[in-house]
Amino acid sequence: MLLIPLVLGLLPGFAWLVFYLGEDPHPEPKRLILLTFTAGIAFGFFTIIIEQGFNALTGALGIAEFSAASLLGLAAIEECMKFAAAHFSVAKSPVLQDPIDAMIYMVVAAMGFATLENIGALTSVVTAAGHGALISKIFETLSLRFVGATLLHSLASAIVGYHWALGIARRKIPHYLIPGIVEASILHAIFNYLILSYEDVAYSVIFLLVIGFFVLNDFEKLKAPVAAS
């Protein structure tokens, strides 16, 4: 039975991965795609440990679990870890040449990260749901993860990747990367706030669609030379 979440948990991430890879005019090596995706999963495990420590620390300091500080801190941890996964996989690789490559590999790492979350969410559903409601619960969870958290991770990491690309092109990586991580973390935290505050997921989906418009625009910018911009 636990094979179900393992297999189905791959679907949302793979679907978005196919979409984003279609934005790359020069296909990336499959070996590096697999490495980066796997690194996203692996760094996701480390993230769980770090977030547990963060929650313990904020609790000891009297910071409420779902306060703005808590949500922003957790979002920043995840954005930094997804960047670490992509950086670990491709930063020293000669294939990281075109500016758009940094954005692509950030999304690949994010989809590995999100896949781990999706498998965890589906495992909880399979474990808790009754046999009669299992199929509907799985479909509901997959649908919400596809247009919700999985899409969020891809967009937030694409933003980080865009700033990383600018930093590489202009040889000022920290100057561009740090604001990118901050921006992605804030958007990530806002999404989590919307999910926690409103039962209607329409608010969070609309929020992601707006972000998606700007991210696609960033992809178009990186298809042209940016070093002289």
Q: Residue 98: which pLDDT band, with cuts at 50, 70 and 90?
A: confident
pLDDT given at position 132: 58
Exposure string for 166-196, b = 16+ CB within 10 A, e = fewer: bbbbeeebeebbeebbebbbbbbbbbbbbbe
What local confidence, expressed as pLDDT, does residue 229 receive? 44
What's the chain's average pLDDT? 91
Continuous H helices in the chain: 3-8, 10-21, 30-60, 68-90, 99-128, 134-147, 149-170, 173-197, 202-222
Q: With the C-alpha atoms ordered 178, 180, 181, 183, is the resulting torsion angle positive or negative?
A: positive
Read off the DSSP letter of residue 169: H
Q: Which amino acid would we find at residue 154? A: S
**Which pLDDT value is given to residue 26?**
81
Look at 31-35, 144-148, 222-226 and tell me which has the smallest mean pLDDT: 222-226
Please give the average per-residue pLDDT across 7-17, as a whole number.
91
User: Which residues are CB-neighbours of 113 under 8 A, at least 6 positions away?
Assistant: 40, 41, 43, 44, 47, 78, 81, 82, 85, 153
pLDDT tens, position by position, 116-175: 999 999 888 888 766 656 788 888 888 889 999 999 999 999 999 999 999 998 999 999
CA dihedral 202, 55, 111, 139 (to 10 degrees): -50
pLDDT of res. 225: 58
pTM: 0.92
Please determine, for residue 112, whether its predicted confidence score (pLDDT) is greater than 80.
yes
- Please state the domain extents for the chain: 3-222
